Amino acid sequence: MKNKILLSAALVASINFSNAQEEDKFQWLEDVDSKKSLEWVEAQNKATFDVLSKQPIYQSVYDKSLEVYNSTDRIAAPSIYGKYIYNFWQDQTNPRGIWRRTTKEDYLSANPKWEIVLDIDELSKKDNIKWVFKGADGLYPNYDRFLVNLSNGGGDAVTVKEFDAVKKEFIKDGFVMPEAKGSLSYLDENTVFVSTDFGKGTMTTSGYARQVKLWKRGTPLKDAKLIFEGKESDVWASGFNMRDGDKKHLFLSRGITFYTSETSVMVNGKIIKLDIPEDADISDLLNDQLVLSLKSNWVVNADTLKQGSLISLNFTKLLEGKKEAQVIYAPDEFSSLSGVASTKNKLLVCILNNVKSELYIYSFDKRWSRTKVNAPDYGAISLAATDENSDQFFFYFQNFLTPSSLFVADAATNTIKTYKSLPAYFDASKYAVEQIKAKSNDGTMIPYFIVYKKDIVMNSTNPTLLYAYGGFESSMLPYYSGVMGKGWLDNGGVYVLANIRGGSEYGPKWHQAGLKEKRQNIYNDFHSVAQDLITRNVASAKTLGIMGGSNGGLLMGVSFTQRPDLYNAVVCQVPLLDMKRYNKLLAGASWMGEYGDPDTKDWEFIKKYSPYHNLKKGEKYPEVFFTTSTRDDRVHPGHARKMAAKMIDMGYKIYYYENTEGGHAGSSTNEQRAKTAALQYSYLMMKLKG
C-alpha cells in the first residue's frame, strides 16, 4: 500500500511537472549557453541593433557617453590602505582597468603620481579570460598582501588570488579560492577565513557558501578546518574580522533571510552568539561600542529603542550577556539613516531628511555627542573612504545639476575642503529641479524629483523618462550624470526620479510597506507618479517612458502589464519577470524575504503581479526594450529572454539586447556602457519624440 501511495505521488508530480513544462514553452531559454539559446539571442540582438543604431541620435549619444566614461577629469575614487590610497581606473587605454596606488600626500596634490599595481587588461590577455576586477581585501596593518577578487565576465562568482603588493605579482603557492559565490578574508598572515563551494551539501539553496573554515597557509583547501556552519535554507554564511583600534574580533554570521541574520563572535576558541535582534544591521565597532541600526522596535532593559534608530551596545558587556544600550540617532517621520562609517576616533553618520542628505560627526566619551558637518545642502552625500590611522575621511556630494565633488575632511577638527569636482558635462544653467509629491491609492504621499528645461512648456508633449527601483531598502537619491545630461536632457528630455515605497528613503517602515503581500503598494506608487506627471501636463501617455533595472526591471514588467495605458516606452534592464520560478534561478532563493515563496500559498499574491504570468493577447502594450547580460549570475538572463520570446509569440513587437558579459551591471568596459546608453536613449527618443 505504501509503495502504491508513493507511486501515485510520483505520478502526480510527474504530471504536474509535465503541465508546468507545457505552460512554459520558453523554459529552454534558461539554458544560458546552449547553442539554441545563443542563436536566439544573436538574432534578437542583430534585429534591435539594426534599428536603434540607425536612429538620428545614436552615434552622437555613443560618442558623448564614451567621452564622459573615458574622461581623464573623472574623480579617482580613494580606498585607504595604510600609507597608500588605492584606486581602480578604466579609460580608453585601459578598457578592463588598472589597479593603482599613490601616497596619501601625493593623492592630495594637484597631480598625483600613480603607480600601477595590477593591470587587468594584461592579466586578461595572459590568462585568456575576460577578467573583471571585483575589489581586494588587504592584510592589516602593513597591507603588503591582498586577496584580489576577479570575476570571469563580471558575474558575482569570483576567483580569489593572493597578491604581493610589494613585488606586484601573485604569490606562488599563495592562497587561491576557485570560482564560487563565496569569500576569502585574512585572519592573520598565515590564516584566512574561507567560505566557498566545498562540494555537495556545502552551498545554500541561494547558491552561496554556507560553511566557514579556517585555512592555514601551505595546506590544501580541502583540509581547511570547519568552525561554523549555517543551514542549507539560509542565504549565506561568512567569517570576518572587525577591529576596534588594534583589537581584533572574529565575527561569524549566517544570513537566515535577506534581512535577518544570526551573528556570533569567537572568543578564545569559543563561539558566543550575540543577543541582538536578527533584523538589526551591525554598522561598526568603535571605542568598545558595537553600533547597530534597528529595523524594528527593540525593548532593552524596559526601554523601547525605536525602529530606524542607530544605537550602540557596550561590546565587552554584550559578550558577557549584558546589554548597556545608548541611542546615537533616532529618526522622525521624514528622516532616516543612510550611511555609517568610522575614522580612528569618530563615528560618521549620514542622514536623509526628506530625501536630502546631512552628515554628522559623533564622538564617544561615556555618552555620544554630535556635530553637523558643514557640507553642501540639497543633494546626496555619500561616504567615500575613511582612515583607520587618523580622523581624515573623504565624502562625495552631488545632485542632478551639480557635478559630483569629492571632499577631504577631518573629523577631529570638523573641517572640510573640496578635493576635486567633476567638470560640467552639460550646461546645467538651462535646467531646473523640483521635488513634488503624488498621492498613492492609500493616501500615502510619494515624493519624486523632476529635472526639466527652464523654458519648458507644460503641454503634455515633452518626452519624459520616469525612473524608480522600489525594493531592497535601496534609496533613490539625486545624482549627477553626464551621460544622462548629454544623452537625454540635451536632446529635449525630462527626467523624473521617484522615491516609491520599497526603498528606505523614510526608514525601515518605507521598505516594509512594500514587502511580500504588500507589494502592490509599490506598483500603485509608481502608477500614481506617472498619473501625476500626466495630470500636470508634463507628459502624456504617448510621451511618457519608464526605466528600471533588476528589481526595478520587475517594476517595469509590472507597470506595463498592469497599466499599458500610461506608458509608451519601457526600458526593462536585467529584470526579474518570471516570479513563479525566480527562486529556482541563480540567487533568486535569497530574495524570498522580499517577495515571498512562490512554492507556498505566497503564490496567491505573487501571481497577481508576476509579469510573465500576466501577459495577455490583444493588449495595447508599449514596444518594450529588454536588456540583460549572458554573464549575469545574480538575476538569470532567462527572465528577460523568456518574457521577450513570449511577447513575440503573442504577436507583440519588442526590442531585445543581451551583452555577452558584464554580469548584473550589464557592462564591463566603457565602450559597452556607452553602447548601452546610446541604444537606450535612441529607443526612448524614437518612441517618445518620433
Residues 118, 98 contacting (CB under 8 angstroms): yes
Q: What is the DSSP letter of 493?
A: -
Neighbours of 229 (CB within 10 A): 15
Residues 595, 550 contacting (CB under 8 angstroms): no
Residue with cell 543633494: 379
Neighbours of 172 (CB within 10 A): 7
CA atoms within 13 A on the CB side of 72: 5
Cβ within 8 Å of residue 608, ≥6 positions away:
520, 614
Radius of gyration of the chain (CA): 26
Q: What are the grid coordinates assigned to 101, written together?
A: 596606488
Please, where are the H alpha helices in 488-547?
508-512, 520-535
H or E element, residue 176: strand 176-180
278, 274, 273: which is closest to 256 by C-alpha? 278
Q: With 0-12 CB in 10 A as exposed, 13-18 as middle and 19+ as buried, what is 427?
A: exposed
664 catalytically annotated: yes
Distance CA 258, CA 319 (A): 25
Helices (H) and strands (E) in the chain, counts: 15, 39
Residues 609, 603 contacting (CB under 8 angstroms): no
Distance CA 86, CA 106 (A): 12
Residue with cell 503634455: 460
Distance CA 622, CA 620 (A): 7
Distance CA 254, CA 277 (A): 13
Q: What are the grid coordinates assigned to 82, written together?
A: 595604510
Residues 662, 154 contacting (CB under 8 angstroms): yes
Q: What are the grid coordinates assigned to 300, written together?
A: 532593552
CA angle, residues 300, 306, 310, in degrees to nearest 5: 90
Residue tagged active-site, from 664, 667, 668, 682: 664
Neighbours of 30 (CB within 10 A): 20
Helix (H, G, I), strand (E, B) or coil at 529: helix
590 catalytically annotated: no
Strand partners, 99: 88, 118
Residue tagged active-site, from 550, 590, 629, 682: 550
Neighbours of 34 (CB within 10 A): 12
Please, where are the H alpha helices in 84-173?
104-107, 120-127
78: left (phi over 0), alpha (psi -120 to 50) or beta: beta
Residues 183, 210 contacting (CB under 8 angstroms): no
Cβ within 8 Å of residue 463, ≥6 positions away:
492, 493, 494, 539, 543, 545, 684, 685, 688, 689
Helix (H, G, I), strand (E, B) or coil at 222: helix
Distance CA 11, CA 9 (A): 5
199, 202, 148, 198: which is closest to 175 by C-alpha? 148
Distance of CA 198 to the CA centre of its chain: 27
Residues catalogued as catalytic: 550, 664
